[in-house]
Amino acid sequence: STIRKKKKMSSSVSPSHNVFVYGSFQEPAVVGFILECTPVIVSAQLHGFHRYRLKGRLHPCIAPFETGVINGKVLTGLTDAQLENLDMIEGDEYERKTVEVVLTDTLEKMEVEAFIWANKDDPDMYGEWDFEEWKRLHMEKFIEASKKFIEWKKNPNGKTREEFAKFVNEDPPKKKMSSSVSPSHNVFVYGSFQEPAVVGLILECTPVIVSAQLHGLRVIVDVAVTGTDSKGVKGRLHPCIAPFETGVINGKVLTGLTDAQLENLDMIEGDEYERKTVEVVLTDTLEKMEVEAFIWANKDDPDMYGEWDFEEWKRLHMEKFIEASKKFIEWKKNPNGKTREEFAKFVNEDPPVA
């Protein structure tokens, strides 16, 4: 591939440009602001490259990767001015090169331009960027950033491109609030509360949820033995975590919870868990973050065993947990003389059928 240099136009008609995009510019609402119109967009695949996450940024990059395949879009028929907008917004860290893509609908090959990360050995590249996750978590911020970019381009007013760039970087960790404002809470969850349908009922809204890892602990299945053989074992549907030197737990951080929402989690977890401050690593950015987590109070509990499986829980028990979450909220709003134990029975394994 060769870097496309801008050429002087020899005729009175400017050529149009076709550009392969693979990140936020796949979203018409974003590209519409950047180009000040929405072009005809077609689906395509680019072979021989991989789409990476970038540490500390909300946008991805691509770099050569022999067996890689990237699903993306081609923005067709762009003017010189629109291509200039893309050049400016991508900046010097990307090189615009000519590549060959395969159109998804027709399987025809097409030469297009694409923005490729200039430093193919950049240590900040990692993993796989996820378009659907980006739409869910960051699209709103990118649309705002796109508006700012167009405002800046029309009226720089002494500001540099860096004023725009800050809008597309990951937010830094929030500072502690002043005493006059109730602080928000970030809570690492590793069991049923990873499921938005469950946590949405418990918190009575679905918070912003980000992926994270917790090191030095392990997710364990917790059971209460009530008999002398395997048929007499009555277990719970939820796990616990306890210290384990080489353990790594993949989970989620529920961000920005209110005091009342944290109280709901405290009540549902009960006295068997202790809420402690731990440090997690955010999956997207590899940044460290102090959060709270519910840890099993009795770290030597003989009823702990094995490894809890989130996918198995979703398949077998999620429906029951959603029902339990509804019961919990009903009970909290109107206890009517009942104790928390009335709720607890919903999250235990069903007893053996006689």
Q: Catalytic residue positions?
A: 90
Residue of 162, 5, 173 whose CA lies nearest to 95: 5
- Are residues 16 and 78 in contact, defined by beta-carbon separation less than 8 angstroms? yes
Return contacts of 329-333, CB within 8 angstroms, 24+ apart: 329/201, 329/202, 329/204, 332/264, 332/267
Cα angle, residue 28 at apex, residues 22 and 32 outer, rounded to 5°: 110
Characterize the bridge pairing of strands 288-296 and 185-189: parallel
Question: Within the chain, what is the greatest distance between any pair of CA atoms?
Answer: 90
Strand (E) or helix (H) holding 103: strand 94-103
Residue partners of 276: CB distance under 8 A and separation at least 6: 292, 293, 295
Reported as type and span, the H/E element at residue 53 is strand 41-54
Here the tokens at position 171 are 């937010």
Secondary structure letter of residue 170 according to DSSP: P
CA distances to 61, 80, 118, 136 from 90, rounded to whole Å, are 10, 15, 11, 22
Angle of helix 259-269 relative to helix 196-203, nearest 10 degrees, comes to 110
